[in-house]
A = this chain, B = another copy of it.
Amino acid sequence: MKANEVSKLTGLPISTLRFYERKQLIPEQFLSRDENNYRVYEKEVLEYLQDVRMLLTLGFSIQELILLINESSHIEKKTMVMEKINYIQALEAKLEASKKFLEDLLEGKANFQTHCKS
């Protein structure tokens, strides 16, 4: 598969594919070059990229993903993932509090709006 096809199938711009590659986020097993130096992607890269998108959306940084990919021990990966799960749980609690704050704002209980122009 050439870059254009991967781009269309994943929705990621080609520039982003190259950016990920530059960041070492595309393992060699997924990517080689043809006789013209054009990139050739394996079809498995599609699933992989979906996972990468998911993990980035979840709040993993590119650096973290690289660690996750290269981390040799299973237990270290496990630790990273569990930390992220904890982080997500904390975030959920914060979001609940936030909703309450915003609802108070709607009802005029917060004072932020009293500072607004009208």
Contact = CB atoms under 8 A, between A and B. Distances in A.
Contact of A115 (B48, B71, B91): B48
Given A77-B116, A102-B81, A106-B78, A92 B92 contact: yes
Interface class of chain A by DSSP: helix
A62 interface: no
Nearest to A30: B115
A27 interface: yes
13 contacts: A27-B117, A44-B115, A48-B111, A48-B112, A51-B110, A71-B116, A72-B118, A73-B118, A77-B113, A82-B106, A88-B99, A92-B96, A95-B95
Nearest 6 CB-CB pairs, A to B?
Answer: A51-B112, A58-B98, A72-B118, A69-B116, A81-B102, A88-B95
Given A59-B98, A71-B116, A89-B99, 7 more contacts: A48-B115, A51-B111, A68-B112, A69-B116, A72-B117, A72-B118, A78-B106
